[in-house]
Amino acid sequence: MAVRRMQDLVFTIEQWTADEAAIEEKLAEASNAVVARAAFTAACRQRPTSVILLRHGIRVVEAQRPGTGR
């Protein structure tokens, strides 16, 4: 089994403040897009009123922004 390094975990799932000024909590990290999307979906279901971002590096891949229609 290969050893994973932190730089291999390029996808992050994060909960942000409502104004998106700061990360409140890093919920998950993944090296695989499919696993990252599954973690994002689970986080959105568990926290439907929170701002949740799925990011690849600095790029936002998908976001849940309650109350904005995005």
Q: What does DSSP assign to residue 15?
A: E
pTM for the full predicted model: 0.84
Whether residue 70 is predicted with pLDDT greater than 60 in this model: the reply is no
CA dist 43 and 28 (Å) reads: 9
Which is more confidently placed, 68 or 2? Answer: 68
Beta strands in 1-70 (DSSP E): 11-16, 23-30, 51-56, 59-64
CA dist 34 and 67 (Å) reads: 27
Q: How confident is the model over 13-52, as pLDDT tens digits? A: 999 999 999 999 999 999 999 999 999 999 999 999 999 9
